Amino acid sequence: QVQLVESGGGLVQPGGSLRLSCAASGPIDGVFTMAWYRQAPGKQRELVASISNGGGTDYTDSMKGRVTTSRDNAKNTMNLQMNSLKPEDTAVYYCKAALIRLTDGEYKADNWGRGTQVTVSS
């Protein structure tokens, strides 16, 4: 069974940094585009950053210059380095793998982790 698990969330002061990680496990042969989303209370889930299996990245305007995403295809992991955090960055951060190729040759789409809470507050 494929699972995505996020880690690294927590409480940080404004201006601080956090590094989130996402690990995909299970009968995985390859992972295509991965992404970070976030959802603040009372708001819709929004895309924060994405990274293709070739390493191409894209970032939401509100976080450009403050976040960097990276991945290790051999380990099926992805990271999100967040700097200069603001209170409005407070949200649950989710990892998504748009498409995973399984070892049996099948594909599994729309894979989500359960999220990790990031709270930016003094």
Do the Cβ atoms of 108 and 116 come closer than 8 Å?
no
pLDDT of residue 60: 94
pLDDT of residue 88: 95
Cross-strand partners of 67: 82
User: Token pair of 99, please?
Assistant: 């498409």
**28-31 vs 91-102, strand pairing mode:** antiparallel
pLDDT of residue 19: 98
3-state secondary structure of 1: coil
Q: Binning pLDDT at 50, 70 and 90, where does residue 36 land?
A: very high
3-state secondary structure of 89: helix
As a whole-number percent, the residues of the chain with pLDDT over 70 amount to: 100
Tell me the one-letter amino acid at 115: G
For 37-61, how does the pLDDT look when each residue is reduced to its tens digit (9 = 90+)? Answer: 999 999 999 999 999 999 999 999 9
pLDDT of residue 42: 94
Cβ neighbours of residue 116 under 8 Å, at least 6 residues apart?
6, 7, 8, 9, 20, 92, 93
Do the Cβ atoms of 81 and 94 come closer than 8 Å?
no
